[in-house]
Structure 1
Amino acid sequence: MGFYGDLLRSPGERSAVGDPIFTADDIGPGLEVHRLLAWWPDAAWVDRKVGPPETSTLVRVLGAAQTAIPQLSGSRLFGGLAQRALVFDLKQFRRYQQGPHPRAEARTAVGKLITAESRVVTEQAVGSVIADQALASMPHHQARARVIFDSPLGIANLIFDRLAPTPRDRSGTWPSSDDLVGMNVADRSDVALEKYVRPRFGPREINDVANNCAPAYALTAYLTDELTGAAIAGGMHAG
């Protein structure tokens, strides 16, 4: 299992003491607030208790964050995730996207685990962004299946357009040779936002949209999906 959490923390924070006690006031401008506001309509669609954002609210970007955080953290989409954890996730996301050193170091940490014996790479959430870019930089790896869960790879301006290598003609770099099978498993109520990444990566990508009401970042429902098992088994027995 690749670990890169320490690379996405601000200096002075220690993993052992848990998440910093963030509030909505700590949400920064730019990537943090824009990803939060991208989640809001999906949360309202999944959970009727969450009021949808109004156009006038979204215009006041940072002010909208004050309204969005308490609604999203208590929504079914995020499975009751604490407000401080939700804000902490936004900050980790921004640090990875904007900091060249954390990005490179995280890809290196994951890439070291993909050896000549690796046949299947499973990826979740932001980890799918890191692992896909690690695979794309390793043209001679032997992996035969890449299975991603709850992935934000398809979100255009926040994620996809910022990938390295940079997408060309709206097409992302396939992270391997033609032998690799890609399986993207999304849940109708997860935080992936853009469920279908096949338009971004081409016909070798298979999409499976499940309906298992998985809480945010929970893996069990994804790992017990039939197509997930088939993709993993196929990669283990290929070549």
Structure 2
Amino acid sequence: MARVVVVHGIGHEWSGPALMGQDVAPALRDGVRQGSGLRLDADDVACAFYGDVFFEEDTRNLGVPPWDEHDVEEGFESELLMAWWEAAAGADPAVPAPDEPGTRAFPGTGRLLSQRVRSALDALSGSRFFGTYSDRMMVFALKQVRRYMNEPVVWQEARARVAEEIGPDTRVVAAHSLGSVVAYEALCEHPEWPVTDFVTVGSPLGLSLIFNRLSPLPENGAGAWPGGIRRWTNVTDPGDLVAVVHELAPRFGTVTDEQLDNGLKPHSLLRYLTARKTGRAIAQGLG
């Protein structure tokens, strides 16, 4: 079994573990080599793939529905959209701030909610980060995160996909974006795993909307330590709006928070993996 298991984020629905590995594994191996000098073999790295759990089995032609502001649900989806808007306004001068800075809720329902969502989508479409995303893609991302957090059939299968890749030789789990939530909860469920190091990149685990829904639930404002790991390194680009909260130590304890610059693609998994800081953190777990 692989010594390093990578858990992806959203946007890989039509891929698979082998196909993802063609890009992800070489990127990780390059980052480890540049960061530490350690050379990994191809079979040292595996991808835990769960992108297909969001669709019915053998459904391959749905694409992304023509969603717009009327399809964003009240509650989790609208609150996550607001969090992105606030983060974008704080990081990008071109993005107008919400009318009520600091709030996580959209006022009203029905037409009032749709108007507020429309304002948020328009603001984000003018940002450097979300400027290449269509409305339907932003709504698609909101719904995937909401489904993982709220639908047992989705989170159970996603965590099971991580478990399938963990073997007696696995020492490091590296997880990106929503995948860091999947990996964190899987590690919490399995303290018996031999994994010693957890490396998160572009992680939204510190966002209150997600943090307060984690399994196990936080106690007294502190998140549970993930399983039997010894070290947790969290790497973010300050311009990565999906991460929103860039320091996890205040939430989880002895996390080593690192920052880097991924250039024009701050949330890119491949850019995170090829970075020396990420490579050094992974190499540390491999001795």
Return the TM-score normalized by structure 1.
0.89
Deviation at 1:21, TM superposition (A): 2.5
Q: What code does the residue aligned with 2:244 have?
A: L
2:124/2:131 contact within 8 Å kept: no
Change (3 A) 1:185 1:77: same
Pairing partner for 1:180 from 222, 227, 230? 230
Match runs of 1:1-239 below 5 Å: 1-9=47-55, 14-55=59-100, 58-59=106-107, 60-78=112-130, 80-156=132-208, 158-177=209-228, 180-190=230-240, 191-203=242-254, 205-215=255-265, 217-237=267-287
1:189/1:214 contact within 8 Å kept: no
Q: SS at the partner of 2:199?
A: strand
Percent identity between the two aligned chains: 37
Q: 2:26 maps to what in 1?
A: none
- Which residues of structure 2 form unaligned runs of 5+? 1-46
2:84/2:244 contact within 8 Å kept: yes
Q: 1:57-82: per-residue Cα shift (whole Å, max 9, x none)?
A: 95354421111113213421235122
1:160/1:167 contact within 8 Å kept: yes
1:78/1:215 contact within 8 Å kept: no
Cα distance in 1 between the residues matched to 2:246 and 2:224: 18
Aligned residue pair count: 233
Q: SS at the partner of 1:159?
A: helix
Q: SS at the partner of 1:195?
A: coil
Cα distance in 2 between the residues matched to 1:63 and 1:33: 12
Deviation at 1:216, TM superposition (A): 5.5
Q: SS at the partner of 2:167?
A: coil
Q: What code does the residue aligned with 2:158 have?
A: A
1:154/1:197 contact within 8 Å kept: yes
Q: 1:79-116: per-residue Cα shift (whole Å, max 9, x none)?
A: 51222111101011111111122111211121221111
Which 4+ stretches in 1 moved above 6 angstroms?
none
Q: SS at the partner of 2:85?
A: helix
Higher relative contact order (CA 8 A, sep 6+): 2
Cα distance in 1 between the residues matched to 2:284 and 2:127: 36
Cα distance in 1 between the residues matched to 2:258 and 2:124: 25
Q: SS at the partner of 2:232?
A: strand
Cα distance in 2 between the residues matched to 1:34 and 1:49: 22
Q: SS at the partner of 2:236?
A: strand
